[in-house]
Structure 1
Amino acid sequence: MSTWYEESFGKDYLLVYHHRNQQDAEQEVKQITEWLQLAADDFILDLCCGTGRHTATLAMEHLNVVGLDLSPTLLSKAVSRNQPYKIPFIIGDMRHLPFVGETFDVVLNLFTSFGYFETDEENEQVIREVARVLKPKGRFLIDYLNREYVIQHLVAVSQREQDGIQIQEERSIQDDFVVKKITLSDKQRGERTYTEKVKMYTYDQMIDMLHRNGLRVKQTYGGFDGISYHQNSPRMILIGNVG
């Protein structure tokens, strides 16, 4: 039986998240570059790179970057849109990275690409893998949801249209997971439904998980605009290094 993340990240995902544009990626990479002091000799892993918006932006800045994702559909889009930059895009599971230890200077994990798995052990395995592939003093940035913000600002149901397709999103909190049911409907393909399910860890839980695996958080932001992290900030962006 397929998992939700194996089913959801296909062609319909590109429609549902059509609003994620290159301009936003460029602004975010500008901030990431400043926060992490990215340099030309850094070797960067864009972990769960999706269609490669951020990967391409890093390459445009003449930075050495590799993109990894589990979805063949999203990686195919990434390869086709980023041909000029000759970026290596690799299919892989973030719990079992296909790299030897101490390979990367920087690992980026953007847009809540963490907490996808049912068990804490599997989610922590991702952190272990990030620590394993980072060089000594290597840096990381994890752009994750802010649990309290999600709970307080949850929109139960929303509807919209994209390219003639009706999209309905139903959101709920189930135990420690935020769950989104996405229903798409059009005349050509009829109705189809996907589910997204992400574990909502607290700040303290994330810090503990990172520290247990040799990763030290040096700074936390509440968004890519540089606001401080607090209970009501939209995001939890954790920045640190091995050590």
Structure 2
Amino acid sequence: MSRVLIAGESWMTASTHVKGVDSFTVHSYVEGVGPLRDALTAAGHTVEHLPAHLVPSAFPGDAAALSGYDVVILSDIGANSIQLAPAVFDRSERGDDRLAALADWVAAGGALIMIGGYLSFTGFEAKAAFRQTPLADVLPVELLPDDDRVELPAGAVPAVADAAHAALGGAGEDWPHLLGYNRVRAKDGAATLATVNGDPLVVVGGHGGGRAAVFTSDCSPHWAPPAFCEEWAGYGRLFDGLVRWVAN
């Protein structure tokens, strides 16, 4: 079984309530990691969740820190949060290039999964911004230069290209619908195992001595509706399969 670090999959929301001439603002903290964390834990993996607000200060900065894990999963967390530690962003001090360290770690035999979302791949208004970072060479897909989101409010059912591939974990061929994804292009030599709306959904490939995989939709709402992430028995098999495959 693998030691897995999931970075991201949390957010804070501020809402303003207006009642006549008066108003007040309330804030909430939400984690979307539950379905993924529970599925991987149930499969026997050890999972550590690093919430998005802690990523800038606590993401592993070098190979020694990354060696505590077998697999790193980035889910709905942008490049800026990883690259810009407080010392760099707030005090203009030199620090670790944590995306370069992550890329080197994968090349040396590590394992990486990126899961889609508004702050994955290129992302909402291109704010995820991974395209011009060292991680772009590691991923088995090419990233678009502009906002890469594809919203599917009517839903689209994925098409499985290779149900027997170990990375799909025996999830089968009948998958529930999804409500959106990040558009990418598979690199030469990478294996596209599933598509949605004609675009890559699950792509896997090697990088140096390590492996990387992408799931371009979400692991929780809103792109992954309850039918996908709560009711479908293949959900846990899929992400267990991806973790086992990249961990090799």
Report the TM-score when normalising by structure 1.
0.32
Whose relative contact order is higher, 1 or 2, with alpha carbons under 8 Å and at least 6 apart? 2
**Per residue, is there more helix in 1 or in 2?**
1
